[in-house]
Amino acid sequence: MKTIRTVVAGASGRMGRALVRLVAETDDFALSGALERKAHPDVGKDAGVLAGLEPSGVLIGDDPLPALAKADALLDFTTPETSVALAGLAAQARIVHVLGTTGLSKDDETKIRAAARHAVIVKSGNMSMGVNLLAALVKQAAKALPGFDVEIVEIHHRAKVDAPSGTALLLGSAAAEARGISLEENSLRGRDGHTGPRPEGAIGFASLRGGSVIGDHDVIFAGPSERIVLGHVAEDRNVFARGAIAAARWGQDKKPGLYAMADVLGL
């Protein structure tokens, strides 16, 4: 069985530490590198120790080039600027780039698609297997219930910096695709004041922030005299880490391209 040499970007963050722990627990994976931004206080520290494990012998570095040169996969839940830079480097190294960063701009997306011409990039607003199954169910419901209003409600911890969440946008995209409409042109966000009646065909988003909530999402289909609610609750960051590990393993024998978790799960 091939051992997948893995680099974790943002290794000292909450998600990075969860990834380091799961890599250590997974038989066919080995931590080969750990990255943080330049001047980060954890650069030079042992990634395993920071994740609450025994020393791994892998020190957190700030230069991605040598780390990616000896890797098979990169797990990246960082920032848009960092992910775009890493996508280019991962493409040069021809390794699998699992990209879970949210808040990407149109320009960021264009650069990532360009990098995917040379490397396997598995990109998703949420790496959870359950959320990606939920997206498939949302697509079915949106198609079967064309007259129902769609509202997406999400809540995350108080430190989350982007809204709506990448997961909410993933679910909104699933509904829009099923109805053959543009999410960008039909997205309704941030109601305040006298907004008037709800536009026909809009997909609404409400973003809540507080406490230490990892991530709750509800997709509400509201029709005449009835509502259907499809939802997902993340109770531990390991749900995202497990999906990232599955994506990195799945991508090892694939041709360069931009893939989604739906591809990994065969949905």
Q: How far apart are CA 218 and CA 111, in angstroms?
A: 31
Quick one: three-class SS letters along 93-110? HCCEEEECCCCCCHHHHH
Active-site residue, from 97, 111, 123, 160: 160
Residue with tokens 């797990």: 75
Alpha helix locations (H) across 160-235?
Answer: 166-179, 183-186
User: For the packed helices 106-115 and 80-93, what is the interaxial angle rounded to 10 degrees?
Assistant: 10
Q: Are 221 and 227 in contact (CB under 8 A)?
A: yes
Strand order in 149-156's β-sheet? 187-189, 203-209, 149-156, 215-223, 226-234
Active-site residue, from 156, 194, 217, 255: 156
Handedness of CA 174, 180, 184, 189 (dihedral sign): negative
Residue 254 in tokens: 């694939």
**Residue 45: active-site member:** no
> Who contacts 244 (Cβ-Cβ below 8 Å, separation ≥6)?
19, 75, 77, 98, 100, 127
Residue 3 in tokens: 């051992």
**Residue 160: active-site member:** yes
Q: What's CA 37's distance to the chain center, in Å? A: 20
Which residues are part of the catalytic machinery? 156, 160
